[in-house]
Chain A
Amino acid sequence: MSDWYRDFANSGVGTTITKQFGLPRPAVLRRYAPGDPLLPGPAVIGSAGEGRLREELTSLLTEAGVTVLSPAADTEKLSAVLLDATGLTTPADLASAHDFLAPAVKRLRPNGRVLVLGDPPSETTSPAQSAARQALDGLVRSIGKELRAGATANLVYVPFGAEASIASPVRFFLSGRSAYVDGQVVTVSPADLPAGEDVDRPLAGKVAVVTGAARGIGAAIARTIARDGAHVVAVDVPAAGQALAGVANEIGGTALQLDITAPDAAARLVEHLRERHGGVDVVVHNAGITRDKLLVNMDTARWNSVIAVNLQAQLDLTQALLDADGVLRDGFRFVCVSSTSGIAGNRGQTNYAASKAGIIGMVRAFAPGFASRGGAINAVAPGFIVTEMTAKMPFGTREVGSRINSMQQGGLPVDVAETIAWLSQPGSGGVNGQTVRVCGQSMLGA
């Protein structure tokens, strides 16, 4: 399932032709491999407004071995441009954001990163201040659409008191783990976070459940989470058992054949985790099905089965794990797989989109309760991800679907997996109740 067009556009003759005709030139994305530096080159950090995060950002980058250059001093190409936009008071302050970003973004290398941090618009009663803060949203998303060559732009909103929560999202958005995450807005919140983390094995010693792990995105999630150090309990329906055992054996995990819609599924999962592992740290609700039909042609069975697997099972399992005594371990993390279909809607997928939108609401509502127990729950919404399923799409539909995003290419299962692995980290506790799209800033539902 290689991207033939991307390979062509990056070949010698392809480069000439695509330039001549103004054709899209999808980049070979910088994807994370263990041992990679946070950034391959230097970064600059600028401020707009008062700015209360600059010192924190500088020490964070320096500790990660990144050279932080002075914005004015140099003409060296940059791997990342960070803007501390906290402290904006009026829209007029945005001019300084423009003054910093314009020359800096011009110096951005391929696969560069633009990351803006601001105050949440909801946390002020001043219309002017809220306007200035909200303006960052439009600014960042537009930069994302202007950037080429695999570069991304993302925004982190940081309320007062949540400054310590920025380390994990900043590292994620700058690293190759976020290769296909573009134009996203994440709001952090205060959280008790562990000190120090093994950057290459952030999940060492953790037990993680991944549902739907036999193939596709689920298998990629299992592999990525295992690579990050966790023991993975790979769950899938009994019928997928052979592939599931293959995944479990590949990553040194265990296979649990379980239909998550069975009446006793939650009880069996809880019992298994308690007996075999003494609890669980990470739960990834990935299992999902599609039963596509136009609404007017959709029978009740198609509707019900999709809601049961994609939404109700996630609700039931989550509630059962919350209720089970001593099964969730300190700093537990849940990640629920939603979809851009749930945000943008999709023809022929009323049932699927309803279930995937429902997940976003579920996560938002669970989040405060999770936070009060030191946990976190988030959703990840994949866009066009190249899998066996998309390989079966008609050529034209597939090509259009994979190009209509800022990265001009489809994402890979590992891109979804990296985002989920990030949200599973102990240090990501300040990200809670959020929905992060892994869609290359798709034009759908943007």
Chain B
Amino acid sequence: MTRQAAIVGGNRIPFARSNSKYARASNQDMLTATLDGLVARFGLQDQAVGEVVAGAVLKHSRDFNLTRESVLGSRLSAATPAYDVQQACGTGLEAAVLVANKIALGQVESGIAGGVDTTSDAPLAVNEDLRHALIALNNAKTLPQRLKALSGLRPGQLVPDVPRNVEPRTGLSMGEHAAITAKEWGITREAQDELTVASHQHLAAAYDRGFFDDLVTPYLGLTRDQNLRPDSSLEKLATLEPVFGKGEGATMTAANSTPLTDGASAVLLSSDEWAAERGLPVLAHLVDAQTAAVDYVHGGEGLLMAPAYAMPVMLARNGLTLQDFDLYEIHEAFASTVLSTMKAWEDPAFCAEKLGLDAPLGPIDRSKLNVHGSSLAAGHPFAATGGRIVASLAKALHEMGPGKRGLISICAAGGQGVVAILES
């Protein structure tokens, strides 16, 4: 038995800038509130869904069972199973794919996919030197041994290990990696700023027309994404100094890169029958998905270029071209990432040499790209972005009528990428 999973709807809390409105909220608080908003929207109080799958990228060790604990704190039935996943920024979309696959196989009739991240309440760990010293102290059996172990303690060891937004294997931040790719592909500052302004304007317009009324539930006094600047303009963005890349030719600023953000999202998926029995809508179906990974350490490929590799595999499997879509959602980790990816798909050399294609995938109609804004405007709480995109795209396709196709592309740390097709 296989069938396509239906996307019934979604919910998220507005995304907040780091150390601001949600500074005192934990991942569990935000995920629970997001689940409760979804429950209220679809009348799921005390109901058990087949499975809740969610994750966080920055996660405290106490949150080992984050999703299940959030379910227990929510208005869902306590008989709802849950598990955590983590694939960096691909977490939310990967969670949706996992739920959709179980629905497709008939293993569950319904499920919720989600993700949450807080950069305000990031897990601080004991300093590695201190940990070693304490282990030595613990293993010491005699007084002299203990004294010797204690003598190894230094004030500097009290400084905790703070998680950093860097690739462990290169020591470069994601922004620095993206800057290298931007330079390789010759992505201009102007093109990045244009994409950024469009993101803000699209998101603001979508809020104004009530598009997010059934996608977002306010949280802790925040009613819209805190990063959103409806009055954003090319002139204003042009005044910003670059923050990633070095010296002459640096193009990436704080505006055309996503800021650190806190937030959570959730998507309700089910079989068509499950939705129909409850009078719930089917916005779209999750048709297919594909992941890919690149060797950004030694292979000479950009850290965030993996979606470029995943895409042709998925398109070929479905007999589709890159132009066969009504809407495109390319996650705006950085404006340059979106532009580099699209440029790669248009590039005959890249498509032939790297992707092994006879012809390039070709261009994307920019008027169909990120039409309700994306991460540059909304912000990007790592694991929450996939759920935001899936729910928004499903609703947008539903509004356009039946048979409309949407494409999702999300890059992730570690040189990974997830792409997916939705169809209304």
Are B279 and A238 interface neighbours, CB within 8 A? no
Question: By the criterion CB–CB under 8 Å, are A242 and B281 in contact?
Answer: no
Cα of A428 to Cα of B360 in the assembled complex, Å: 70
Considering the complex, which residues of chain A in the window 249-265 have a beta carbon less than 8 Å from any beta carbon of chain B? 249, 252-259, 262, 264
Does A239 count as interface, using CB distance less than 8 angstroms? yes
Q: Cβ of B218: which chain A residues have Cβ within 8 Å of it?
A: 238-242
List, in ascending order, chain B residues with CB within 8 A of A254's CB: 40-43
Q: Does any Cβ of A come within 8 Å of B33's Cβ?
A: yes
Q: Are B279 and A275 in contact (CB-based, < 8 A)?
A: yes
- Minimum CB–CB distance from A4 to chain B (whole Å) comes to 31
B350 proximal to A (CB < 8 A)? no
B38-51 to A contact mask, C-beta < 8 Å, 1/0: 01111101100000
Which among B46, B216, B223 has the highest number of chain A CB atoms within 10 Å? Answer: B223
**The one of B37, B42, B210, B280 that contacts A262, using a Cβ cutoff of 8 Å:** B210
- Which of A253, A259, A277 contacts B210 (CB under 8 A)? A259
- Whether A278 lies near B279 (C-beta < 8 A) is yes
Cβ of A277 and Cβ of B216 under 8 Å apart? no
Measured CA separation A239–B213 after assembly (Å): 9
Shortest Cβ gap from A246 to chain B (Å): 8
Interface string of B68-81 (1 = CB under 8 A from A): 00000001000000
Give B4 Cβ to nearest chain A Cβ, in Å. Answer: 20
Complex: how many Å from CA A117 to CA B281?
50
- Pick the contact of B217 from A242, A252, A258, A276 — CB < 8 Å? A242
Complex interface bits, B206-243 against A, C-beta within 8 A gives 1, otherwise 0: 00001011101111100100000000000000000000
Among A231, A240, A255, point to the contact of B41 (Cβ < 8 A): A255
* Beta-carbon nearest neighbor of A253 in chain B: B43
B40:A244 contact, CB within 8 angstroms: yes
Is A248 at the interface (CB under 8 A from chain B)? yes
Bound-state Cα–Cα, A231 to B212, Å: 24
Task: Note all chain A residues with C-beta closer than 8 A to B212.
Answer: 238
In B11-54, the 8 Å CB interface with A consists of 33, 36-37, 39-43, 45-46
Q: Is A245 an interface residue (CB 8 A)?
A: yes
With beta carbons under 8 angstroms apart, the residue of B46, B214, B280 that contacts A252 is B46
Give the contacts of A218-272 with B (CB-CB under 8 A): 231, 238-242, 244-246, 248-249, 252-259, 262, 264, 268
B280 touches A241 (CB 8 A): no
CA distance A238 to B216 in the complex (A): 8
Q: Once bound together, how far apart are the Cα atoms of A252 and B45, in whole Å?
A: 6
Measured between beta carbons, the chain A residues less than 8 angstroms from B281 are: 275-276
Number of residues in A with C-beta < 8 Å to the partner?
A: 26
Interface residues of B, count at CB 8 A: 24
Measured CA separation A301–B293 after assembly (Å): 56
Q: CB within 8 A of B75: which of A249, A256, A264, A268?
A: A249
Q: Chain B nearest CB: distance from A205 CB in Å? A: 14
Contact A245-B37, Cβ < 8 Å, known A238-B216, A258-B213: yes
A276-B280 in contact given A239-B218, A244-B40, A245-B37 (Cβ < 8 Å): yes
Contacting residue for B37 out of A241, A258, A268, CB 8 A? A241
- Chain B residue contacts of A249, Cβ below 8 A: 36, 39-40, 45, 75
Could you say which of A239, A248, A276 contacts B223, with CB atoms under 8 Å apart? A239
Residue pair B40, A245 in contact (C-beta under 8 Å)? yes
Structural contact, B279 and A257, CB atoms closer than 8 A: no
Q: Which residues of A contact B214 (CB under 8 A)?
A: 256-257
Q: Mark A138-164, 1 if CB is under 8 A from B, else 0.
A: 000000000000000000000000000
| Contact of B33 with A242 in the complex, beta carbons under 8 Å | yes
Interface residues in A308-322 by Cβ distance below 8 A to B read none
In angstroms, Cα B15 to Cα A219, docked, is 27
Q: How far is the CA of A241 from the CA of B41 in the complex (A)?
A: 10
Q: Give CA–CA (A266, B194) in the complex, Å.
A: 37
- Of all chain A residues, which has the CB nearest B278? A276
B280 & A242 in contact (Cβ 8 Å cutoff): no
Residue-wise interface mask of A (289-319) relative to B, using a CB-CB cutoff of 8 A (1 in contact, 0 not): 0000000000000000000000000000000
Task: Fill in one digit per residue for B284-304: 1 if any A CB lies within 8 Å of its CB, else 0.
Answer: 000000000000000000000
Contact B36 A245 (CB under 8 A): yes
Within 8 A of B (CB), among A373-394: none
Residues of chain B from 337 to 392 with CB closer than 8 A to chain A in the complex: none
In the complex, chain B residues whose CB is within 8 Å of the CB of A246: 36, 40
A265-B43 Cα distance, complex, nearest whole Å: 21
Chain A residues within 8 Å of B223, by CB: 238-239, 241
A252 and B216 in contact, given A259-B210, A275-B279 (Cβ under 8 angstroms): no
Smallest CB gap from A248: residue in B: B40
The residue in chain B whose Cβ has the minimal distance to the Cβ of A240 is: B218
A238 and B40 form a contact (CB under 8 A) = no
Give 21 CB contacts A-B under 8 Å.
A238-B212, A238-B213, A238-B218, A241-B217, A241-B218, A242-B218, A244-B40, A245-B37, A246-B40, A249-B36, A252-B45, A252-B46, A253-B40, A255-B37, A255-B40, A257-B213, A259-B213, A262-B210, A276-B279, A276-B280, A277-B279
Question: Which chain A residues have a beta carbon within 8 Å of chain B's beta carbons?
Answer: 231, 238-242, 244-246, 248-249, 252-259, 262, 264, 268, 275-278
Sample of 9 further A-B pairs with CB below 8 A, known A241-B223, A242-B220, A259-B210: A238-B212, A241-B37, A241-B217, A249-B39, A252-B43, A253-B43, A254-B42, A258-B213, A276-B279
Name the 10 nearest CB pairs between A and B, nearest first.
A245-B40, A255-B40, A248-B40, A254-B43, A241-B217, A249-B75, A239-B223, A241-B218, A257-B213, A252-B45
